[in-house]
């Protein structure tokens, strides 16, 4: 399978290991990633907070560049970028006047033919095509699949999985041997872009998420969003301060979990870049060495 | 030679203030064929009618045009006046110079001219009217009541007590409907079954009522006064005549783990079962899908043990054909299940239940014998949260309407819980409190002021389970949207009332209209609540819209009175303004070519096929024929007939062309 | 009351309708949005109250909504609209209120650093086409005067290769600058 690839700003910076593990897994499962040349930032939450047209133009430029690759699918691993691209595409389909304005701003034409896909649905498609036969070490752990708020909303536009209690990530984790738990915070927001400006709020929200996951005996939180990962992992110190207790549970990207199951060397999956060591209570897995948390 | 009389009414100020009636009368007097033209203040009054009668007699009028209000108001009045004077009533027409003229225009010359034009048009029409006689149709004095809930029961009893025959068809093994499932009813807290079962027994014992339980309507043909119904009597696998209701079979049946529909899936029943102890008729039925004998060929314990030898495994469904004169649809409603709500768990939490399930918990004959217990672990809940408006008034979920009964039964549930668990905490999350009936507002106040139900205004966003408790995340909008989180032991969703399953199919079988929610449509939302647009078919109860018991009973009695009114005559008189396919001399017999386009477009299925035969029986031609009992005179067939072989009396092609030419 | 928009003339709600097509009349104040909002307990006006403030059509109340902490603290997680029974697009309304607050004020004093964050973020994109995290954080600290925030975290991130010292300038930087300048030139949002 060949897809256009839009990593987004975080995957180049603070979420490097998501990009690394994704590329490692993609190479193994026959998923060819064609990075869009010269892509720009999608604007994330700041764009639409400040100006409507700007919030459409920045993703609009990305869609136009993706179209030029000639590929049908555009893989967007970051949930925030995914949400911006899907909703922008729908807004431009629904309103031709706005579309014309955006095309004028970005100085490019837009056919809006490219399908914007998130990481979970692309991996699922590849799996169903039968390319996951290489499971060497089943990921036999209890996991809490954390989808985050932007992956499944707005449901009518994104049309992915169920709006409450989605199942696709859980099914994929099951396929690699894990035991996904039923828990209450699958789509509850982690605090998103408030990580700098409202750190204590993010800490409070993430504490609730980790408390529920750990309380239900999950051994790891699996996520598909770099923002969620950053808040749950990098901000672990702040979370523990806000909650008044320690949380040991590691947070992994879905591509890292799949990578481990496929037998890819942990070093190539960027597990040592996490703040919280990826260590499991059951010592069946020794994924890699990490420094101790802050 | 036409001798037309024109009578222009002032209708007080309604017409007179805008239209110069005297001038209209003057203009009309000069029309060809008009021999009498006057105006008067109130034509519908006695003196006004006498003007018509006198003129008919003195001037030997052959036609009358009354320029006044809408025919929907007074056409019968003026037709009767003409009839009394000796003129065929169908030679009287009305020109609507009120709704179509004076009420929609400003005073002035153009308005007066328009009124005069309208009169001229009607004069040309009435010249071409034919004298007609009302059509007589016989009436079968048996009513078919579909549905044995409280509405169907009430309608059946009312009709039967009026001396007419009733066939009551109920698809479940027992009558009683949802009312039999309730614990206590608002606002009196009467025990539901205590007030219902006497009526159920009365139905079973009434000499005029034939109860066909465990039966469904297969098809309905015919027209008002003359319906033919085919009813499928499903096989109970029990001979009802022999069965004594001793219940040994239900006690000994080894298949005990089937969710009981009567207990809203909170309790179990056996494969051979009677839905509840007070069932009418008190005869069991075998659920063949879950019966061991029917699945594997083994068992047959019920047959071995039945003292009356009443078990009949080979029994088949039976189709019964009956002739009826009227039909009352009383098929009730359903409530949505908890799996309708993604944000409340997709129905996976056993301790999140709906209102009907709570009724079963609270019922003395229910799965917990009237004790409020959690379905998951049978413990008594200390905190119960009730959610009103669960699914109703919810555009996103596709149910925009209010289900009407939930505010009242939620207050009742909170009260019953508090009565049974004195230390328990009851929270009600609501949006509004709709308590419009008699003693209803007082009932809700009692729940809040005396029984300590804690009402919080706001909807609940999410419910999830943690450590055996249900975390309910709501808000208090009266405190500005303040989030309110409650750890509940039991959550009761007052789910939306929806049309009962199979409502759409039934409506199509009956040829009655229904709305987008599959509730049956009444003929007029204000003034005709128990009739449908199909003559002879009436509505009673929640199948028309969600409603409570007093309203269902009232509507059922209303439908019954319509049926009795229908049956009070031996023959039905119908307006003869209907279509007819022409007949000509042999060998043509009719200009109809037998294309039957009319048949396919008739909304009332009033077109039949008639074979025209030679003396030796050979079919020469098959042409269309209008059934005078069904035709409503809508004219659709006239519009589509390519050869103009079908025409409408009272609105014939000739008349309409004449009217249009009169304006040119 | 304008029949076309069901809003009070010249009110913020009417402007909202004209630029976004969202009608505040649809909201029947059920509170489900506030019940599910992760921040409702931590903010001045929960979301349903923000809507009520602009629903009334009174200028004083409109100003309260624009000057609220909520509109800037909003996580844009879309939980509200996911559950709203009347399908009110509250995220879109929040965007509109933020854009108005940004353009003409007022801005809640405690929200000033959130606005500063957005300025830093967008400034970074405008300069290089992509987010340069170190640069953005530095600019944010300058604006918010929070010099000591995360000082212990930063070295750890650098060690793990999660922060770059230099920005990556895309080739289309000038094109991105033009997008910024021309978009922000045009007054207000289109529907």
Of C42, C156, C186, nearest to A201 by CB-CB distance is C42
Name the residue range of residue B253's domain: 248-305
Q: Do B11 and B151 sit in the same domain of this protein?
A: no
Averaged pLDDT for residues B449-462 = 97
CATH of A2-119, one of 1.20.1050.140, 2.60.40.10, 1.10.1530.10, 3.40.50.620: 1.20.1050.140
- Expressed in percent and rounded to 5, the helix, strand and coil fractions of chain A are 50, 10, 40
The gap from C-alpha B359 to its chain's centroid, in whole angstroms, comes to 27
Residue in chain B closest to C87 (alpha carbons) equals B396
For chain B, state the CA radius of gyration: 32
Which DSSP state fits B41? S
Q: Among B403, B413, B436, which residue's Cα sits nearest to residue B542? A: B403
pLDDT per position as a tens digit, A94-127: 999 999 999 999 999 999 999 999 999 999 998 8
Does the residue B482 lie in any domain? Answer: yes
Q: Please tell me the distance in Å from A244's CA to the nearest CA on chain C.
A: 19
Domain ranges for chain A, please list them. 2-119, 132-273
Per-residue pLDDT at A291 = 39
Contact of A164 with chain B, judged by CB distance below 8 Å, is answered with: yes
Q: Do B458 and C34 touch (CB under 8 A)?
A: yes
Position C188 scores a pLDDT of 44
* Domain annotation covers residue B386: yes
Least confident window among A55-59, B641-645, C11-15, C146-150: C146-150
Q: What is the pLDDT, as a whole number, of residue C3? A: 60
B248-258 confidence digits (pLDDT tens): 999 999 999 99
Task: State whether B368 and B493 are in the same domain.
Answer: yes
Which of these ranges, A103-117, B90-104, C42-56, C147-161, has the smallest mean pLDDT?
C147-161
Cα–Cα distance for residue pair B568/B8, rounded to 1 Å: 38
Using a CB–CB cutoff of 8 Å, tell me whether C33 touches chain B: yes
Quote the number of domains for chain B: 5
Whole-number pLDDT of residue A130: 75
Calculate mean pLDDT across residues C159-172.
84
Pick from A162, A184, A215: which is nearest to B342 by CB? Answer: A162
Percent of chain A with pLDDT over 70: 95
Mark yes or no for CB contact A184/B346 under 8 Å. no
Task: Look up the pTM and report it.
Answer: 0.87
Cα nearest neighbour of A84 on chain C: C76
Angle at A229 between CA A225 and CA A234, to 5 degrees: 155
pLDDT number for residue A282: 59
Alpha-carbon gap: B343 to the closest alpha carbon of chain A (Å): 6
Q: Cα(first)–Cα(last) distance of chain C, in Å?
A: 22
How does pLDDT run across A150-205, given as a tens digit for each residue?
999 999 999 989 989 999 999 999 999 999 999 999 999 999 889 999 999 999 99
ipTM rounded to 2 decimals? 0.90
pLDDT at B218: 97
Interface contact flag, C164 A49, Cβ < 8 Å? no
The model's confidence at residue C187, banded by pLDDT at 50, 70 and 90, is low
Is pLDDT above 90 for C152?
Answer: no
Q: Which of A270-284, B309-323, C171-185 has the least mean pLDDT?
A: A270-284
Query: Residue A131: what pLDDT?
Result: 65
The pLDDT of residue C191 is above 50:
no
* Domain final position from B498, B518, B535: B498
Residue B598 clears pLDDT 90, i.e. is over it: yes
Interchain CB distance below 8 Å, C85 and B397: yes
Q: Where are the alpha helices (DSSP H) in B183-315?
A: 192-205, 248-252, 292-296, 301-305
- Residue B96 contacts residue B118 (beta carbons within 8 Å): yes
C-chain CB neighbours of B473 within 8 Å are: 35-36
Higher local confidence (pLDDT), B535 or B261: B261
**Beta-bridge mates of residue A76:** A118
CA distance C125 to B663: 74
Q: What's the pLDDT band for C160 if we cut at 50, 70, 90?
A: confident
pLDDT tens digits, one per residue of B548-558? 999 999 999 99
SS3 content of chain B, % helix, strand, coil (to 5): 30, 25, 45
Q: Are C22 and C88 in contact (CB under 8 A)?
A: yes
* Span A240-263, average pLDDT: 95
Same domain, B296 and B396: no
Q: Which tokens sit at B16? A: 């007179």
Test A41 with C114 for CB contact under 8 angstroms. Answer: no
pLDDT at A149: 93
Do B378 and B487 share a domain, yes or no?
A: yes
* Kind plus residue range of the DSSP H or E element containing A211: helix A199-215
Q: C102: distance to nearest CA of chain A, Å?
A: 7
Is 70 exceeded by the pLDDT of residue B637? yes
Q: Inter-chain contact C84–B462, Cβ cutoff 8 Å?
A: no
Are B74 and B94 in contact, with CB atoms under 8 Å apart?
Answer: yes
Residue B655 pLDDT:
93
Domains, chain C, with CATH or none: 12-106 (1.10.1060.10), 110-187 (no CATH)
Instruction: Chain B: give the shortest CA distance to residue C104, in Å.
Output: 26
Residue B312 forms part of a structural domain: no
Phi-psi region of B147 (alpha: psi -120 to 50; beta: other; left: phi over 0): left
**Any domain includes B659:** no
Are B220 and B344 part of one and the same domain? no
Q: How confident is the model at residue A135 (pLDDT cuts 50, 70, 90)?
A: confident
pLDDT at C4: 61
Using the predicted structure, report yes or no on whether residue A283 has a pLDDT greater than 80.
no
Cβ contacts of C33 on chain B, cutoff 8 Å: 461, 481
Q: Do domains A2-119 and A132-273 have the same CATH topology?
A: no
Confidence grade of residue A293 (pLDDT, cut at 50, 70, 90): very low
Tell whether B573 is covered by a domain.
no
Q: Closest Cα to residue B361, out of B420, B403, B430?
A: B420
Per cent of chain C over pLDDT 90 is: 65
Q: What mean pLDDT comes out for the span B302-329? A: 96
Subunits with 3+ Cβ pairs within 8 Å of C are: A, B
Contact A165/B at CB under 8 A: yes
Q: Averaged over B399-418, what is the pLDDT?
A: 97
Question: Residues B230, B327: one domain?
Answer: yes
Cβ contact, residue pair C122, A46, below 8 Å: yes
Write down the pLDDT at residue C1: 54
pLDDT tens for B141-168 read: 999 999 999 999 999 999 999 999 999 9
pLDDT at position B452, please? 96
Stated length of chain C: 191
Q: How large is the average pLDDT for residues A26-54? A: 93
Distance from CA of C150 to the nearest CA of B (A): 31
Interface test with B, best of C27, C29, C32 (most B CBs within 10 A): C32
Chain-wide mean pLDDT for chain A? 91
B159/B98 same-domain check: no
Q: What confidence score (pLDDT) does residue A136 get? A: 86
Cis peptide, bond prior to residue B281, ω within 30 of zero = yes
Q: B494 and B351 in one domain? A: yes
Chain A's closest residue to B465, CA to CA, is A184
Taking an 8 Å cut-off on Cβ atoms, the answer to whether A164 and B343 are in contact is yes
Asked if the structure places residue B572 within a domain, the reply is no
Q: Which residues of B touch C28 (CB under 8 A)?
A: 393, 431
Q: Is the pLDDT of residue C44 over 50?
A: yes
Which of A153, A189, A273 has its CB closest to that of C162?
A: A273
Asked if residue B88 has pLDDT above 90, the reply is yes
Partner C contacted by B387 (CB < 8 A)? no
Q: Do B466 and A163 touch (CB under 8 A)?
A: no
pLDDT at A210 over 90: yes
pLDDT of residue A285: 47
The whole-angstrom separation of Cα B143 and Cα B540 is: 13
Mean residue pLDDT across chain B: 95
Q: CA A127, CA A137: separation in Å to the nearest integer?
A: 17
Q: What is the pLDDT of residue C5?
A: 63
CATH code, B533: 3.50.50.60
Residue B64 in tokens:
């009358």
Closest residue in chain B to residue A213, using alpha carbons only: B466
Query: What is the per-residue pLDDT for C146?
Result: 82
Kindly indicate the confidence band of residue A3, based on its pLDDT and cuts at 50, 70 and 90. Answer: very high
The span from the CA of C110 to the CA of A205, in Å, is 19
User: With an 8 Å Cβ cutoff, is C116 touching chain A?
Assistant: yes
The verdict on B492 and B512 lying in the same domain is no
| Chain A residues touching residue C162 (CB < 8 angstroms) | 13-16, 273
Residues B274 and B393 both lie in one domain: no
Q: Summarize pLDDT for C7-29 with one digit per residue, the tens.
A: 788 889 999 999 999 999 999 99
Looking at the domain assignment, is residue B282 inside a domain? yes
CATH number of this structure's domain A132-273: 3.40.50.11810
B342 contact A CB<8A = yes
The confidence band for B494, taking pLDDT boundaries of 50, 70 and 90, is very high
Indicate whether B60 and B43 sit together in one domain: yes
Residue B628: per-residue pLDDT: 84
Mean pLDDT along residues B451-470: 96
């Amino acid at each position: 399978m060949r897809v256009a690839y839009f990593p987004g700003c975080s995957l180049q910076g603070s979420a490097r290991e998501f990009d690394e593990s994704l590329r490692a897994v993609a190479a193994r499962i026959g998923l060819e990633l064609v990075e869009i040349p010269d892509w720009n930032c999608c604007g994330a939450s700041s764009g639409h907070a400040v100006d409507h047209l700007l919030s459409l133009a920045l993703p609009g430029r990305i869609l136009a560049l993706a179209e030029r690759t000639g590929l049908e699918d555009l893989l967007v691993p970051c949930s925030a970028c995914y949400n911006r691209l899907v909703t922008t595409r729908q807004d431009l389909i629904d309103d031709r006047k706005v579309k014309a304005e955006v095309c004028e701003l970005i100085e490019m034409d837009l056919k809006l033919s490219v399908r914007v896909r998130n990481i979970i649905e692309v991996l699922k498609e590849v799996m169903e095509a039968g390319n996951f036969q290489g499971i060497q070490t089943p990921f036999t752990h209890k996991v809490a699949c954390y989808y985050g708020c932007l992956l499944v909303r707005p449901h009518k536009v994104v049309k992915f999985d169920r709006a409450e209690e989605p199942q696709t990530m859980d099914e994929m984790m099951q396929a690699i041997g894990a035991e996904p738990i039923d828990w209450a915070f699958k789509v509850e927001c982690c605090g998103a872009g408030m990580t700098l400006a409202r750190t204590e709020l993010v800490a409070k929200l993430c504490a609730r998420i980790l408390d529920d996951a750990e309380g239900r005996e999950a051994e790891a939180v699996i996520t598909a969003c770099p923002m969620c990962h950053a808040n749950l992992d990098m901000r672990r110190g702040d979370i523990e301060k806000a909650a008044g207790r320690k949380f040991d549970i590691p947070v992994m990207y879905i591509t890292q979990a799949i990578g481990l199951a496929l037998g890819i060397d942990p070093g190539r999956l960027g597990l040592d870049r996490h703040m919280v060591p990826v260590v499991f209570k059951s010592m069946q897995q020794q994924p890699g060495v990490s420094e101790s948390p802050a | 030679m036409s001798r037309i009389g024109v009578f222009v009414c002032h209708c007080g100020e309604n017409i007179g203030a805008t239209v110069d009636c005297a001038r209209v009368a003057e203009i009309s007097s000069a029309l060809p064929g008009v021999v009498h033209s006057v105006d008067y203040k109130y034509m519908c009054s006695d003196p006004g009618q006498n003007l018509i009668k006198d003129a008919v007699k003195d001037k030997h009028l052959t036609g009358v045009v009354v320029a006044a209000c809408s025919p929907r108001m007074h056409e019968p009045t003026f037709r009767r006046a003409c009839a009394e004077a000796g003129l065929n009533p169908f030679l009287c027409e009305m020109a609507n110079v009120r709704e179509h003229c004076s009420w929609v225009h400003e005073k002035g010359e153009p308005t007066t001219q328009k009124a005069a034009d309208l009169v001229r048009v009607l004069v040309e029409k009435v010249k071409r009217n034919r004298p007609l006689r009302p059509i007589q149709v016989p009436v079968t004095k048996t009513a078919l009541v579909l549905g044995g809930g409280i509405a169907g029961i009430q309608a059946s009893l009312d009709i039967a007590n009026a001396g007419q025959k009733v066939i009551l068809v109920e698809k479940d093994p027992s009558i009683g409907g949802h009312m039999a499932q309730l614990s206590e009813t608002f606002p009196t807290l009467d025990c539901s079954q205590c007030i219902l079962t006497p009526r159920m027994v009365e139905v079973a014992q009434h000499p005029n009522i034939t109860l066909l339980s465990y039966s469904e309507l297969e098809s309905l043909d015919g027209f008002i006064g003359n319906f033919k119904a085919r009813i499928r009597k499903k096989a109970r696998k029990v001979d009802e005549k022999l069965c004594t209701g001793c219940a040994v079979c239900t006690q000994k049946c080894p298949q005990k783990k089937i969710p009981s529909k009567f207990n809203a899936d909170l309790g179990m029943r056996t494969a051979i079962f009677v839905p509840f102890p007070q069932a009418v008729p008190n005869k069991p039925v075998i659920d063949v899908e879950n019966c061991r004998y029917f699945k594997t060929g083994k068992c047959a314990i019920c047959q071995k043990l039945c003292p009356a030898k009443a078990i009949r495994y080979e029994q088949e469904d039976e189709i019964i054909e009956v002739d009826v004169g009227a039909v009352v649809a009383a098929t009730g409603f359903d409530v949505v299940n908890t799996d309708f709500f993604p944000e409340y768990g997709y129905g996976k939490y056993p301790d999140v239940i709906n209102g009907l399930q709570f009724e079963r918990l609270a019922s003395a004959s229910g799965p917990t014998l009237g004790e409020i217990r959690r379905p998951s672990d049978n413990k008594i809940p200390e905190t119960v949260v009730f959610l009103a408006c669960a699914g109703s008034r919810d555009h996103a979920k596709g149910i925009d309407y209010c289900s009407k009964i939930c505010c009242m039964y939620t207050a009742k549930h909170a009260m019953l819980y508090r009565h049974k668990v004195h230390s328990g905490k009851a929270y009600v999350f609501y949006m509004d409190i709709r308590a419009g009936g008699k003693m209803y507002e007082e009932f809700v106040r009692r729940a809040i002021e005396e029984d300590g139900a804690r009402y919080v205004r706001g909807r609940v966003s999410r419910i999830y389970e943690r450590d055996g408790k249900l975390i309910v995340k709501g808000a208090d909008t009266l405190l500005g949207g303040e989030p309110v989180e409650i750890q509940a032991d039991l959550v009761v969703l007052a789910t939306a009332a929806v049309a009962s399953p199979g409502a759409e199919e039934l409506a199509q079988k009956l040829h009655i209209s229904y709305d987008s929610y599959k509730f049956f449509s009444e003929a007029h939302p204000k003034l005709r609540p128990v009739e449908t647009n199909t003559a002879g078919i009436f509505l009673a109860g929640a199948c028309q819209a969600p409603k409570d018991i007093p309203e269902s009973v009232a509507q059922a009695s209303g439908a019954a009175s319509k049926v009795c009114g229908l049956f009070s005559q031996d023959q039905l008189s119908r307006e003869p303004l209907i279509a007819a396919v022409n007949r000509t001399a042999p060998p043509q017999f009719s200009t109809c070519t037998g294309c039957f386009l009319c048949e396919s477009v008739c909304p009332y299925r009033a077109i039949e096929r008639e074979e025209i035969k030679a003396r030796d029986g050979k079919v020469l031609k098959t042409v269309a024929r209008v059934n005078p009992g069904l035709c409503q005179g809508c004219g659709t067939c006239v519009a589509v007939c390519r050869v103009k072989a079908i025409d409408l009396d009272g609105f014939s092609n000739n008349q309409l062309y004449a009217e249009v030419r009169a304006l040119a | 009351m304008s029949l076309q928009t069901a809003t009070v003339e010249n009110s913020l709600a009417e402007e909202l309708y004209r630029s976004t097509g969202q009608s505040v009349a649809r909201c029947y104040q059920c509170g489900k949005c506030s019940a599910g909002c992760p921040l409702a307990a931590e903010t001045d006006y929960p979301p349903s109250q923000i809507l009520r403030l602009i629903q009334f059509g009174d200028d004083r109340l409109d100003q309260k909504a624009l000057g609220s902490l909520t509109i800037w603290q909003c996580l844009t997680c879309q939980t509200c609209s996911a559950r709203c029974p009347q399908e009110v697009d509250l995220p879109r309304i929040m965007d509109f209120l933020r854009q108005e607050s940004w353009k003409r004020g007022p801005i809640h004093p405690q929200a000033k650093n959130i606005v500063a964050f957005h300025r830093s973020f967008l400034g970074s994109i405008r300069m290089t086409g992509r987010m340069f995290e170190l640069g953005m954080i530095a600019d944010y600290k300058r604006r918010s005067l929070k010099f000591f925030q995360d000082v212990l975290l930063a070295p750890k991130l650098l060690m793990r290769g999660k922060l770059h010292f230099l920005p990556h300038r895309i080739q289309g930087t000038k094109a991105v600058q033009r997008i910024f300048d021309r978009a922000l030139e045009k007054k207000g949002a289109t529907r």
